[in-house]
Amino acid sequence: MADDSDPIWTSSSTARHIQDLGNVEKDIIHLLSLASSSISLLTLPQTDASNDTLPTGDERSEQFVLEVTQYFQKLDVRETIAVD
């Protein structure tokens, strides 16, 4: 989105709402990406395509925990912002 210091984004409440919606869109894209990679990590390793770069063994479990943690942290932040 545009630079936060650009006065166009603070000139009106409509402009601020548009910027906020752009930020929500970015967060949704990030959440969907994290959800997608988490689901991929849940699949059985033998079903991975040959060109997949998914980790194996314990690394796979650790990566899953990392992705899910990031997902819920981002969702938590988004919910906090929505409540305010």
Which position has the higher pLDDT, 79 or 76? 76
Long-range contacts of 35-41 (CB under 8 A, 24+ apart): 35/71, 37/67, 38/64, 38/67, 38/68, 38/71, 41/67
What mean pLDDT comes out for the span 20-31? 92
Indicate whether this model's pTM tops 0.75: no
Tokens representing 19? 């910027």
Sequence-ordered alpha helix ranges (H) in the chain: 13-42, 57-83
Q: What is the pLDDT of residue 55?
A: 86
